Amino acid sequence: MVNGVGMNIRGVYGEGSKTQGNMYQVSNKQSLGITEKEMIKNIRVITDKMIEQERLARKYLGKNSRSLEDKVYRSYGILTNARILSSEETRSLLSDVKLGTDLGIIQELNDLKVNELILYTKPANLQKFLGEKLDAEARDRKRREVIKQIIKE
């Protein structure tokens, strides 16, 4: 379907990267020979289809609510209690937590808090937020503190 309209779906950081936290990058394959208007139309077709598929998947997930609720709260538990969290693991956990807030499973957080967590747990943003330059190991430890701070606000 995506190839039929000249689009690629890749990992979050583009070609050759993996998906992280159920996030993907949609990009056009072809830029020569088509107008910007056609590119935008193709992107709309793909995004509309992705939204439709997401809604269908959420209906299915709702039927398995016990296991989904467990998965979401496990992710929330790890996110709020772990001592060391890598950027990649945090993205994955936040993806589950975001789904949980969207579906009304998690009442402890709202979209604003989840979006703040997504923003401020990224490596460069984390360092900017804390006002200090950190190596990867220190970031993984400090990320926990930032998560706790944002959740408590």
Residue 67 is predicted with a pLDDT of 84
Strands 24-28 and 7-11: antiparallel
| pLDDT for 20 | 65
- Condensed to tens digits (0 to 9), the pLDDT of residues 6-34 reads 677 777 666 776 666 677 777 777 667 77
Q: Where are the alpha helices (DSSP H) in 1-135?
A: 36-63, 65-81, 87-102, 111-120, 123-130
Q: Which helix (H) or strand (E) holds 140?
A: helix 136-152
% of the chain exceeding 70 in pLDDT: 85
pLDDT tens profile 66-98: 888 999 999 999 999 999 999 999 999 999 999
**CA–CA gap between residue 138 and residue 51 (Å, rounded):** 37
**Sequence-ordered list of residues with C-beta below 8 angstroms from that of 92, at least 6 positions apart, any chain:** 20, 21, 22, 75
**What is the pTM (predicted TM-score) of this model?**
0.75
Q: Are 150 and 120 in contact (CB under 8 A)?
A: yes
| Secondary structure class of 24 (helix, strand, coil) | strand
